[in-house]
């Protein structure tokens, strides 16, 4: 089983959305039995909470159900357990690399937008303090990146 971890700051907006979009895509392609998705935040401030209501609503309108609960990334387990760790923005990427103290897992850490195929985005913008359009933009980027990620995974399975 290939294991993928999506990581943002609070694990209530971008990374749970990435998890939901990817799970739906894997299911559609019949690969949900071969790839496991999870998400986490670099901070534990929202631990135990469901995804942000605005993110859930925006996702639901596109047919995605976000039902994960927020948790903080756990360096003692997650680096070893997951095959790919995908950061939503540069700050997340820096923080994740910082947690990899001995630099044993560098090759597992990616930017989510590395897998975009049509969007020009270089990061997934934090929608938390903005308006509804921010959540749509997050989903637009994630749908594009998840498509590219699926292709990479398919090559490796
Ligand atoms: P996320 O969004 O990192 O996409 O889950 C945020 C969630 C919470 C906060 C910031 C961004 N916050 O400051 O609590």
Closest residue to atom 14 of ligand 1, CA basis: 10
CA 14–ligand 1 middle distance (angstroms): 8
Catalytic residues: 8, 14, 126
pLDDT score of 138? 98
Q: Residue 119's CB: how many other CB atoms inside 10 A?
A: 16
- The two three-digit tokens of residue 7, written as one number: 């990581």
Per-residue pLDDT 10s for the chain (157 aa) are 999 999 999 999 999 999 999 999 999 999 999 999 999 999 999 999 999 999 999 999 999 999 999 999 999 999 999 999 999 999 999 999 999 999 999 999 999 999 999 999 999 999 999 999 999 999 999 999 999 999 999 999 8
For the whole model, what pTM was predicted? 0.98
What is d(CA 71, CA 127) in angstroms, rounded to the nearest whole number?
19
Q: Relative to the CA of 51, which ligand 1 atom is closest?
A: 5
Protein residues with CB under 6 Å of any ligand 1 atom: 8-14, 45, 126, 128
Q: Which of 96, 126, 129 to mutate to test the pocket of ligand 1 (most atoms within 8 A of CB)?
A: 126
pLDDT score of 139? 98
Which CATH number fits the domain that encloses residue 21? Answer: 3.40.50.2300
* DSSP 8-state class, residue 35: E
Domain count, the chain: 1
Closest residue to atom 3 of ligand 1, CA basis: 9
Cα angle for residues 72, 28, 23 (degrees, 5° grid): 0
CA 127–ligand 1 middle distance (angstroms): 8
Domain interval for residue 143: 2-156
Chain segment 104-132, per-residue pLDDT in tens? 999 999 999 999 999 999 999 999 999 99
What is d(CA 75, CA 84) in angstroms, rounded to the nearest whole number?
13
């Amino acid at each position: 089983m290939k294991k993928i971890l999506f990581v943002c700051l609070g694990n209530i907006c971008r990374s749970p959305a990435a998890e939901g979009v990817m799970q739906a895509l894997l299911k559609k392609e019949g690969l949900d039995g071969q790839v496991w998705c999870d998400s986490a935040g670099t901070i534990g401030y929202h631990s135990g909470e469901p995804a942000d209501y605005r993110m859930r609503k925006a996702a639901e309108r596109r047919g995605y159900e976000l039902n994960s609960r927020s948790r903080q990334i756990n360096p003692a387990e997650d680096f070893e357990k997951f095959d790919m760790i995908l950061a939503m923005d540069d700050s997340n990427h820096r923080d994740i690399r910082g947690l990899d103290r001995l630099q044993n897992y560098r090759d597992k850490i990616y930017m989510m937008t590395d897998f975009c195929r049509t969007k020009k985005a270089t990061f997934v913008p934090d929608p938390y303090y903005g308006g509804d359009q921010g959540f749509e933009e997050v989903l637009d980027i994630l749908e594009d990146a998840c498509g590219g990620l699926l292709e990479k995974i398919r090559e490796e399975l």
